[in-house]
Each structure stands twice: as C-alpha cells, then as structure tokens.
Amino acid sequence: MTISLAPNAVNLTERAARRIGRILSKQAPNMALRISVSGGGCSGFQYEYAVVPDAAGDDDVRLERDEARVLIDSLSLEFMGGAEIDFVDDLIGQSFQIRNPNAVASCGCGTSFAVA
C-alpha cells in the first residue's frame, strides 16, 4: 500500500518507510532522508540520498509515513512526479528503488535514469 496526496505526488511504500524509519532511528534526533536528482550517472540523471536535519525549505515537499521523513526539493520533484519510492531486499542486495514514470531509460545500477 502506498500513500499519495496528488496525481504527481511521490509515493512512499510501506517497505521504504520501515527502512527509512530504521535508518533515522540510528541518527541524531530530528533527521530526515533527502532524495534529490542531479545531473550525471550512466543515463544522464541520478538519484542522491542524504540524511539531513529535518528542516524543510520553502521549495521542499515533505513525505511522512510512520517514522519515515523524506524531503524532496521542487526541482527534483519535476523529474520525480508520480514516482514510487520502494525498498527491495533480493539476491543481489538491498537498495531503495524509485519507479519513475518520467524515466524513459535507466541503467543497471538503478540510480541513474534518462528523461525524454
């Protein structure tokens, strides 16, 4: 089950929220996971993850689910609108995966993508 606030909102799955909550529980109080999009990677754009103080800026979107707190800046949201953030644990390892309807191509690393 995911939680969506609007058609272009970013959805956070229950698995991702649990994992983010565990990560944040090991950090200083009042921290959040910032997800952003920057130029680079194999396909042109890449996702970046950082644990930062939980202080949303004027252009940030804030996602909350259970103990998870995620910040995404408005420029990154332009590339991620309608995406779903999930956490997978399979034979090749554990990772956050972003299923992005705006991406037209991605590479094997799972953090790099291209848009039309």
Residue 112 has pLDDT above 70, yes or no: no
Please write the tens of the pLDDT for every residue from 8-60.
689 999 999 999 999 999 999 999 999 999 887 776 888 899 999 999 888 89
Own/partner long-range contacts of 44-48 (Cβ < 8 Å, ≥24 apart):
44/112, 44/113, 44/114, 44/115, 45/79, 45/112, 45/113, 45/114, 45/115, 46/111, 46/112, 46/113, 47/96, 47/98, 47/111, 47/113
Please write the tens of the pLDDT for every residue from 74-88.
999 988 989 999 999
Residue 115 has pLDDT above 50, yes or no: yes
pLDDT tier at 108, thresholds 50, 70, 90: low
- 101 or 91: which leads in pLDDT: 101
Segments making up each domain of the chain, as ranges: 8-115
- The predicted structure's pLDDT at residue 33: 97
| Radius of gyration of the chain measured on its C-alpha atoms | 14
- What average pLDDT does range 56-71 have in this prediction? 93
**2.60.300.12, 3.30.70.20, 3.40.50.80, 3.40.50.1820: which CATH number matches 8-115?**
2.60.300.12
pTM value is 0.83
